[in-house]
Structure 1
């Protein structure tokens, strides 16, 4: 799901020795890290599995499809061949109950109450889906209310819903959070670093809690961090949600996005200026605005319940097998999506995330070759990340191995092919003591770990590590660097932009036999070294003091 930037690292000789390194952090005692000899990691494994998973035969690896069946079969066979054992008793799989909802016959969005009726076409102007398991969904003459950023955060003294009743109404919401556009990391919502309140998932959740009938987020490319093409391809076709006992009855009838230009017309029809109201919504004390307009839209739902699968492999530890280190990557992608100009409608997901899935297998091979570490290693390929981290959330909520005994882990979500770099980019740098392990692994490479340059894009909340972090498990998520050996930061930014504009969540994220894998393999070595160090130490790294997840971790460990 994440928009990746570039890759980093030089491919060093097949054996890297990370010495007994010490890193001193302000306020922390120095920590010693075990020596790790990284065995040769197979570039052929990376190439062959990435190519296979992203071939048209897998039809974009959507959950609940023939592409899923092929994917989980391949992964279980590769895990077994690598020398892992099934990670769920005698099974390689963990069932993840999902419901797939395919919206059809989606009407235009009709807006009445102004001087003339407005009509917006599905796809080009707006997209809509429903979380409710009902064959027909209709929102008719629903009063429209602009609720700013749609945030209710009492701990921050902020409530966009204060003094307004939106039950049965259609709420219009801004993307990101009120601090977007600031330069520092100071502010009610973390300055330019997006909080979870800025994510679309939160905004729909809160709208449902407030009793809204429908929720439409205004798409704006910069604060969303992706163009309308990504919204259109990601929000059309079958959508997956976690199965619920009430069939989604507590959710809004309709959720969607609307183009900023279309929203401006709606505001004008209400006698309001969108730009002015966007500025007003950034200020504490903003009051929701009754637009005195009515919205109508309808759709029909095709409903399919399915048990998708997480794939789980285990390498038991030698001396402390009941302590676990976890590697995660998501195997799913979007399936069939909006066709490219040449008619290709398969979102192959080669970068996102056939590469990360292949890395799980390559790492499993390397771990077995090196021999089991002291702690057990879980290799977890999760489903339905593209649908809102559903597979990782299901595992975290229903862990096969206790989270209180899960030391920490590493998440891998999309390697890029931009080439070797001088740095790696850490999403959420400074949050946990796992940063020290990464810095130790990088030391002999001559590379550095840097904080993500665009925290306003909210990458921390957009990949599977977040499901574990919310429940207290320290997870590190880093990407290839943006300061390329060949071309520096300018080249790194250009490569990231090219991928985001032309391939991300589209049919052209395809395997290329001419890719240069040197940067990928160097980064894979770092993933190996960080996890292996964690599996060979007796330490239990925690979230840093003051971090939002530390209290949850402390409680979990206390009750282990």
Structure 2
């Protein structure tokens, strides 16, 4: 018999009210924007742990020295100085003040008179020999820009500069970067340079006609990187620091722990203070991103614990530093509290409060796991339908499931938010990573229905009779 996955109108209202209560607390000014390493982290994790423990969960760290809270050591780099200079035939080309900025997560990054290469939207498909030792100019306004930048740096680019639309976009990005950059402690030295350059600055460097040619060429399927008759000298320095933060891990014991586990995750962190005076509102409260995911995760834990006992264990993971590069989920995969191969399915809950009730759902990570036959069955049993998948696939690498997928853990996000591109894109344009992402007026109709759907998904995949737990990239439900 399929578990309940629909709500009466009265039940829908009650669930929405409960989710709103959690979001109001987690996205309140008292929690300060939930930045890692701050008092906001302490309040956030205490609230979640108290709610989860009251629901009947137990510590899932499997580490007696660190019950509930798994430490994650991060290195923090705070930018100090930067300079950007371009040359043609040895002569400097002046740029307008505020039209470029560079950063490094090392103590000092330096590039001197390196050749400049325009790469458009290309990154992972390029050979190292094409970009090594060069300053790569990439376009920013496209899905996958973060992954493109990282791929160019891995390929050996001396530096990567992202071309942004205007000074407003540059100011938004640099404002975030100047609050510091995190990375997992003990990783690489982070001495590479990356930064931003306005389109107007690029026009100054190459001229309007040449800029138009480059942009047209970049849109063609046969585009190849274009060397420019420019050299660049870049320097950035930063002050090192460290942050001790935590993942929160809990467990709902099942009857047969040896049969594997289902994992439910959501990131708890946000940006803290993200604006400066004279702005009236200085805090990024992160109501939709991701207090909504935490609210659904918390109520999912309560409902599962209150219902019939499951066969498999279910682990609940609230990750830190997702906003800084999926660092909490990466730390979990490097030091998991359970063997990764024992996780038969993982469901990520992120930025859920976007779509109204009655919306379709989409699967972030579709085509990358063996879970789809089971997911399709549960969606059908719940009377839901799949909608537009295109936007969901743009975000595969930008949410915590990606860190798990890279370690062959079957992880997806099944949500109504990405199935309504017009609503999600409006949220991104008006509220994403801004102080206006607040609890008041958050849309909870789709989030309440997603709660019920994800409960049905967890119950399905926690049943070895319905889902035996095949691994790999293909499989089928029995």
* TM > 0.5 fold call: yes
Structure 2 counterpart of 1:509: 437
Q: Which runs of 4+ in 1 moved over 6 A?
A: 13-16
Q: TM-score, normalised by structure 1?
A: 0.74
- The answer to whether residue 45 in structure 2 is matched with residue 99 in structure 1 is no
Which structure shows the bigger proportion of residues in helix conformation?
A: 2
- The answer to whether residue 146 in structure 2 is matched with residue 200 in structure 1 is yes
1:226-245 map, 5 Å? 231-245=173-187
- The answer to whether residue 252 in structure 2 is matched with residue 325 in structure 1 is no
**d(CA) in 2 for partners of 1:49 and 1:402?**
31
Q: 1:287 to 1:425 in 2, by over 3 A?
A: closer
Q: Decide whether the 8 Å contact of 1:199 with 1:458 is kept in 2.
A: no
1:391 aligned to which of 291, 311, 328: 328
Q: Decide whether the 8 Å contact of 2:296 with 2:448 is kept in 1.
A: no
Structure 2 counterpart of 1:437: 374
**d(CA) in 2 for partners of 1:464 and 1:152?**
20
Higher RCO, 1 vs 2 (CA within 8 Å, ≥6 residues apart): 1
Q: Decide whether the 8 Å contact of 1:41 with 1:363 is kept in 2.
A: no
**d(CA) in 2 for partners of 1:375 and 1:69?**
31
Q: Decide whether the 8 Å contact of 1:340 with 1:507 is kept in 2.
A: no
**d(CA) in 1 for partners of 2:291 and 2:242?**
25
Cα deviations by residue, 1:236-278 (Å, 9 ceiling, x for unpaired): 3122112235533xx41x1123223322332329xx7123224
Q: Decide whether the 8 Å contact of 2:44 with 2:268 is kept in 1.
A: yes
**d(CA) in 2 for partners of 1:106 and 1:500?**
29
Cα deviations by residue, 1:319-367 (Å, 9 ceiling, x for unpaired): 3355110001000111222348733221111100011012221111111
2:158 aligned to which of 202, 205, 213: 213
Please report how far the alpha carbon of residue 15 of structure 1 lies from its aligned counterpart in structure 2 after TM superposition. Answer: 8.6
**d(CA) in 2 for partners of 1:52 and 1:61?**
11
1:275 aligned to which of 212, 218, 223: 212
Please report how far the alpha carbon of residue 110 of structure 1 lies from its aligned counterpart in structure 2 after TM superposition. Answer: 3.0
- The answer to whether residue 87 in structure 2 is matched with residue 112 in structure 1 is yes
Q: 1:411 to 1:206 in 2, by over 3 A?
A: same
- The answer to whether residue 104 in structure 2 is matched with residue 130 in structure 1 is yes
Q: 1:481 to 1:347 in 2, by over 3 A?
A: closer
Q: 1:273 to 1:346 in 2, by over 3 A?
A: same
Structure 2 counterpart of 1:468: 404
1:77 aligned to which of 19, 27, 50: 50
**d(CA) in 2 for partners of 1:257 and 1:56?**
31
Task: Please state whether the residue corresponding to 2:281 is helix, strand or coil.
Answer: coil
Structure 2 counterpart of 1:32: none
Please report how far the alpha carbon of residue 74 of structure 1 lies from its aligned counterpart in structure 2 after TM superposition. Answer: 1.8
Q: Decide whether the 8 Å contact of 2:72 with 2:246 is kept in 1.
A: yes
Q: 1:521 to 1:233 in 2, by over 3 A?
A: farther
**d(CA) in 2 for partners of 1:165 and 1:481?**
37
1:373-384 map, 5 Å? 373-384=310-321
**d(CA) in 1 for partners of 2:122 and 2:318?**
33
Q: 1:208 to 1:266 in 2, by over 3 A?
A: farther
Cα deviations by residue, 1:502-523 (Å, 9 ceiling, x for unpaired): 11111110111x4453332121
Structure 2 counterpart of 1:458: 394
- The answer to whether residue 245 in structure 2 is matched with residue 308 in structure 1 is yes
Q: Decide whether the 8 Å contact of 1:234 with 1:505 is kept in 2.
A: no
- The answer to whether residue 473 in structure 2 is matched with residue 550 in structure 1 is yes
**d(CA) in 2 for partners of 1:426 and 1:522?**
15
1:145 aligned to which of 117, 131, 151: 117
Please report how far the alpha carbon of residue 218 of structure 1 lies from its aligned counterpart in structure 2 after TM superposition. Answer: 2.0
Please report how far the alpha carbon of residue 116 of structure 1 lies from its aligned counterpart in structure 2 after TM superposition. Answer: 6.1
**d(CA) in 1 for partners of 2:11 and 2:463?**
18
Q: Decide whether the 8 Å contact of 2:33 with 2:285 is kept in 1.
A: yes
Task: Please state whether the residue corresponding to 2:404 is helix, strand or coil.
Answer: helix
**d(CA) in 2 for partners of 1:500 and 1:318?**
42
**d(CA) in 1 for partners of 2:366 and 2:384?**
15
**d(CA) in 2 for partners of 1:284 and 1:518?**
41
Task: Please state whether the residue corresponding to 1:396 is helix, strand or coil.
Answer: helix
Q: 1:533 to 1:120 in 2, by over 3 A?
A: farther
